[in-house]
Structure formats: C-alpha cells, structure tokens
Chain A
C-alpha cells in the first residue's frame, strides 16, 4: 500500500525563522509531488509542485526532492504568523490520477 508520512507536529517556529517540513513516501515510482496548505476550516490550497530531483524556489517557499531517498521537503523562509496552518504533502504515481496525501504537519509561527 502506498504511503506518505509526515510528522504531525505541531512544529513551532518564531516569526522570521525558517520552517522545515518533511515528507517521505513509499512508492518508488512516484512521479510528481505537491505541497498544500490548509487553514483551519478551509480546504487545501496548492502552494508548490516539484517533479525533478533538487530544489525549486517560489518566493519564500522552497521545495526539495530526493527520489533516491524518497524524501520531499518544504522550506518556508521568513516565516510569518499567517503561515500557521497544516501543510499536506501529496504524491502522485505514474498512473496519473493516483494521489496519496500525508496526514499533514501543523505549523505554528509565533509572533
């Protein structure tokens, strides 16, 4: 069974610090990887996608992928209290419509 694992947290970081969120996945043939942010009471929203090994930067967010280690991470620089949310890691296999979500990591940015 395909699995995606995340530390549930809460992960607490002070405002302005770097938040590091980690995710591991079990299906070695996974092709695409996504990070979603979910505020309490809201639906998830896509913040980053990554498909190739290495880093991908978008503003304050950097996604990192290491397929050999089956590991994907999200770094949030200059964390803000508005970044406080649950971050979901999602992995899609080579079949296209085969998304598997991790349980999410709750991030709390302290002012």
Chain B
C-alpha cells in the first residue's frame, strides 16, 4: 500500500529558530501533498496544499511567509516553520494520495510533534 514517511517525528527548538519537516511518498508519486496541524484534543486543521512544481495553496489564516512549503519533486514536500514561537508548538502531519483517481484515500505520515521553548 501507499506509504508516506515524515521526518522528524519529534523536534524541540528554541523560540526564533526555524524547523524543517520532510514528507516523502515512498512507493508512489504525489503531485499533491497536504499539510495539517493538530492541537491537543482538537480536530485536524488543513494548513496548505502542496503542489509539485508550483506554489502551495494556503488555507485562510495560515501565514505563507511563516510556513514555507516546497514541493520540489514528486516524492518530497517540506514544511519549514520559520521564526518559531511557542504558539507554533503542535502536531504537524502530512498526507498524500496515490494518483489513481477520485477514489484514492489519503495516507498520512506519522506526524511531527514540534515543541518550541
């Protein structure tokens, strides 16, 4: 089945620094990947849609200059949280679907737990 790998699984950084999270589709090519954020006991919130070879589409309220997304190849998308602050501490999850039509489910990476101190 389709496998999405996300790295790192956990990161602790100091306020003001930047953190890069990688998302890879291991056995399929993903022209589109999705980045979600989830705060404790809350729902998944879509942050942005990452499109290979073009600019990402951000959801309303998500700062594109703060959450930089790069989808440079069909198997890799990265999310960089720039100038991180404690309020950015959250669980970040990427996902992708194998391009076999409208019935393809989303497969999720294992998520990255970001803690900003």
Contacts and interface: CB of A to CB of B under 8 A. Distances in A.
Nearest to A35: B105
Contact of A90 (B49, B103, B106, B113): B106
A99 B110 CA distance: 19
Judged by DSSP, the binding face of B is loop
Nearest to A48: B105
A16 interface: no
Contacts of A97: 32, 49, 97
A96 B107 CA distance: 14
B111 A32 contact: no
Interface in A1-51: 31-32, 34, 36, 41-46, 49, 51
A43 B93 contact: yes
B34 interface: yes
Contact of A43 (B103, B104, B108): B108
Given A97-B97, A101-B44, A46 B111 contact: no
A43 B102 contact: no
Nearest to B97: A97
B54 interface: no
A111 B101 CA distance: 41
A17 B102 CA distance: 34
Contacts of B104: 96
A92 interface: yes
A51 to B, nearest CB: 6
Nearest to A8: B43
A44 B102 contact: no
A85 to B, nearest CB: 13
Interface of B: 6, 32, 34, 43-44, 46, 49, 91, 93, 97, 101-111, 113
Given A42-B111, A90-B105, A102-B43, 15 more contacts: A34-B105, A43-B91, A43-B108, A44-B44, A46-B105, A46-B106, A49-B103, A51-B103, A94-B102, A96-B101, A97-B97, A99-B97, A101-B46, A103-B43, A104-B43
